[in-house]
Amino acid sequence: MINLTAIYVLWLREMKRFMRAKSRVIGTLAMPLFFLVFLGFGFGNSSVAGLPEDINYISFLIPGVVGMSMLFTSMFAGISVLWDREFGFLKEIMVAPVNRISIVIGRIAGGATTSLIQGVLTLMISFAVGFQVIDVLSIIGALVFMALISTTFIGLGLVFASRMKDMQGFNLVMNFVIFPTFFLSGALFPLQNLPDYIKVVAYADPLTYGIDGMRNVLLGRQFLFPVEYDFLFLAAFSVIMVFLGAYSFEKSESV
């Protein structure tokens, strides 16, 4: 049976950690800001192959940068299980009279909330560089895609965290999972420019649908796929990853 108290306590713990770690917030926002400034202004007036003529590069880039922020924050939230294992907190909650599903839901809820906050902050920064949305409903639609991106990659982070015993394998996850996921998502350039055999891999990337969905709703036009297609595929990825994360976490050892 799901324990709502345990879920709330774990969610509240993540919120307190987030509010107290101001350097974490600043550090997470720094990289999207650099991408917006250097890539956005550097290529802002350039002609990018595959980009519609009425869409400038900054407008194209911003949903990708928001997606990047969500990816990194969500994966770190999932892999933070390793820190809890290192410092003994995971062992303490595992011996509590609470089922592991409640623990997983609490961690996902906390991580998704902090990730969503940082994604919204990144979107707010984009308004300072001239980004414009079509209406308020487009922002609500973007929030839906941001929430799905967050839950998807927190679940994936839990899968890796459940298989890893210490932080030594963290760089492996960074180099062979997070960065390829980011670069193959079309965050920085249109996927139409890629060879067909790489497109196949890109279309298997959940972040591709999240970023394309945000572009569709924020800019009011279709890019790769219809927005309904993006939503359904990303929602399916989200359910699968959360299930796999919960299953892996339940089968993992607490120490």
Cα–Cα distance, 18 to 117 (Å, whole number): 10
Mean of all residue pLDDT scores within the chain? 79
CB distance 28 to 72 below 8 Å: yes
pLDDT tens by residue, 55-95: 777 888 888 888 888 888 888 776 777 777 666 666 666 66
Q: Which amino acid is at 86?
A: E
Q: Mind listing the pLDDT tens digit for each residue in 193-239?
A: 788 888 888 888 899 999 999 988 988 888 888 889 999 999 999 98
Total domains, the chain: 1
Domain housing 99: 4-251
Using the 8-state DSSP alphabet, how is residue 178 labeled? I
Q: Which of 186, 120, 112 is nearest to 156 (CA)?
A: 112
Q: Are 129 and 58 in contact (CB under 8 A)?
A: yes
HSE-up (13 A, CA, CB side) for residue 137: 2
pLDDT band at 36 (very low <50, low <70, confident <90, very high): confident
- Output Rg (C-alpha) for the chain, integer angstroms: 18
Bigger pLDDT: 213 vs 158: 213
Q: What is the pTM of this model?
A: 0.85
Reference 245, options 101, 115, 91; nearest CA is 101
Tell which residue, 198, 172, 173, 170, has the closest CA to residue 183.
Answer: 198
